[in-house]
Chain A
Amino acid sequence: MLMALLIFILVVMGAVLVIASGLWVAVALVAVISSRDRKPSQTGLS
């Protein structure tokens, strides 16, 4: 039963991590496409 729960939690955690990666990239992409008139920044996002 414990093993079953562990596998289930692992898969759910995986889904949450993938969604979190998608949100991280979304933030970076918005920063890039909204930086038109700025000088290149030091943050690595423009």
Chain B
Amino acid sequence: MDHVFSAAIVIAYLALLTFVAVRSRATQSGPSASPIGGLTDREFEEFSLARRSLPVALVFASLAATYIGPGFSIGFVGRGFKSGFLFLGIGLAYAIQNILVGLLIAPRLRGLSGCHTLGEAIGQKYDKRCHVLAGAISVGLCAGFAAVMAKAGGEVVHDIFGLPPALSVILVVALTALFPTIGGLRANVAADAFQFITFSLLLPLLLLLVLGFHLEGGAAAFAAQASAATIDGFNSTSALEIVGLVAAFLLGETLIPPYANRALACRTTAVSRNSFILAGLFSAVWFTVMIGLGVAARSIVLEDPGEDYVLLHLVKSTMPAKSYALLFVALVSVITSSLDSLLNAGAVAFTQDIVKPFVKLSDNIALKIGRGATIAVAAVAAAGVVAVPSIIGGLLICYTIWAPAILPTLIIGLWIKRPRPLAGLLSMGVGAVVAVTFQLAFSSATGVPAIIPALASALLAYVLGHYSSSIADCRFPIANRKS
């Protein structure tokens, strides 16, 4: 009976999600939209940027739904269980990053004309070579992040329904790829908003129920558990580890392709700024709730179930069996809302940054390539699951590569008057190579998080490239102008 109820809840949820995504696509606005939302001659603009018409509530929800993946939900509950409010402090670095992006970078990015991707923004500021390199890094990183999400989704389906692991992964990836493949960014953002509503109602309600009806000892017991867990956390985490985690949270996810796409798809620069600021403030509140669930679980889940299973055990211990289906819906929302955004962003980056610079494409062909690339990125992500060490481990590897490879080039390029292509190329190349090499060969041996040396190398390479180009410009001004 429970299985029938669970299946009914899941089917109803998927039907509602599909309705929202299809309906949002049918309501696309703009001068070239057809009345029934069919193909138009500007369809790739719709597929990639939703005609730059997204309002603040949807961009905010989509940003939050994208960054709240398994790490920021299941992972944070587990961290709250083990190290109390230590991880809230680390998570605040993430909130600050979003607010800074909203204040300093997103409006400038949105202000660039004719940009569909981060790679194009870099291409406008530097040159075509930088555009293609940034695009290749974006596609690779989207596939990497998507593999982590696919692993998490597969684990949830496997745990709850008992399906074989490989089939669970394929099922999650295939179902998630439907919306971005067919409906592009608009359907993706609408699905994100719906998923945001689902988990932002279910998980805090779970916390309120646990605090209200299952916590023996009330506020005093909760505070005592919080204090004990936080002290444990500080005792078991070295200062260097904390610095590495703060750096990863501050920089690792900054403007990864799905976020950049949303900054570019906003209706105005003000919408872009406000959405990121709201998303940053929301993340701080969200982390408080997740850590709160983890701390509350300490007096309910008595044996340590392993970090990734605290939330599941908390629900098992406190809710009736039927509520498991609701938890499944919440967790699937958390995971697929991140996965679909990554698939869409990877596909748009592939089309716009890797194919378009070399081949002139009609809008219709660009749309077909975009859809094909969504399926290809999904397939790579599903296959890449075997290489993902763990959810948090996989995310940290992606952060380690993204921040040094892209951020110095992007941020400096948006702020200085005349960015030099050599500086961009060197910084992206050196940042990516040092990040991968250090992560694979030295990180575990030295205990130094790879993001720190890789970021320092990327910055140094940028400075060298910039000044050597400046010197060359001074010595051979005419020759350089011609080239």
Selected contact of A14 from candidates B56, B64, B190, B289, CB within 8 Å: B289
Selected contact of B292 from candidates A15, A25, A36, A46, CB within 8 Å: A15
Q: Is the CB of A3 within 8 A of B267?
A: no
12 contacts between A and B (CB under 8 A): A4-B222, A4-B223, A4-B224, A5-B223, A11-B222, A11-B288, A14-B289, A17-B285, A22-B201, A25-B193, A25-B197, A28-B55
B275-300 interface with A by 8 A CB criterion: 282, 285-286, 288-289, 292, 295
B21-70 interface with A by 8 A CB criterion: 23-24, 26-27, 29-30, 53, 55-58, 60-61, 64
Q: Is the CB of B190 within 8 A of A29?
A: yes
Q: Max chain B CB contacts within 10 Å: which of A5, A7, A11, A45? A: A11
Q: Is the CB of B197 within 8 A of A29?
A: yes
Shortest CB distance B60–A (Å): 7
Please name the residue on chain B nearest to A33 by beta carbon: B23
Residues of A within 8 A of B64 (CB): 21
Residues of B within 8 A of A18 (CB): 200, 203-204, 282, 285-286, 289
Residues of A within 8 A of B286 (CB): 14, 18
Q: Is the CB of B204 within 8 A of A19?
A: yes
B367 within 8 A of A: no
Residues of A within 8 A of B302 (CB): none
Selected contact of A46 from candidates B23, B29, B194, B203, CB within 8 Å: B29
Q: Is the CB of A28 within 8 A of B224?
A: no
- A26→B61 CA distance, assembly (Å): 10
Please name the residue on chain A nearest to B289 by beta carbon: A14
Residues of A within 8 A of B57 (CB): 24-25, 27-29, 44-45
Shortest CB distance B55–A (Å): 4
**Interface of B: prevailing SS:** helix
Mark interface residues in A27-46 (1 if CB within 8 Å of B CB, else 0).
11100110110011000111
B167 within 8 A of A: no
Interface size class of A (residues with CB under 8 A): 20 to 34
**Interface of A: prevailing SS:** helix
Q: Is the CB of B197 within 8 A of A26?
A: yes
Please name the residue on chain A nearest to B207 by beta carbon: A15
Please name the residue on chain A nearest to B61 by beta carbon: A25
Shortest CB distance B24–A (Å): 6
Residues of B within 8 A of A5 (CB): 219, 223
Q: Max chain B CB contacts within 10 Å: which of A10, A18, A39, A40? A: A18
- A45→B27 CA distance, assembly (Å): 11
B196 within 8 A of A: yes
Selected contact of A11 from candidates B23, B61, B197, B207, CB within 8 Å: B207
Q: Is the CB of B26 within 8 A of A15?
A: no
B157-192 interface with A by 8 A CB criterion: 190
Q: Max chain B CB contacts within 10 Å: which of A29, A36, A44? A: A29
- A24→B27 CA distance, assembly (Å): 20
With A28-B55, A32-B27 as contacts: A8 and B201 at CB distance below 8 Å = no
Residues of A within 8 A of B197 (CB): 22-23, 25-26, 29
Residues of A within 8 A of B224 (CB): 4
B11 within 8 A of A: no
Q: Max chain B CB contacts within 10 Å: which of A8, A15, A19? A: A15
Residues of B within 8 A of A1 (CB): 220
B271 within 8 A of A: yes
Shortest CB distance A31–B (Å): 9
Residues of B within 8 A of A21 (CB): 64, 200, 282, 285
B211 within 8 A of A: yes
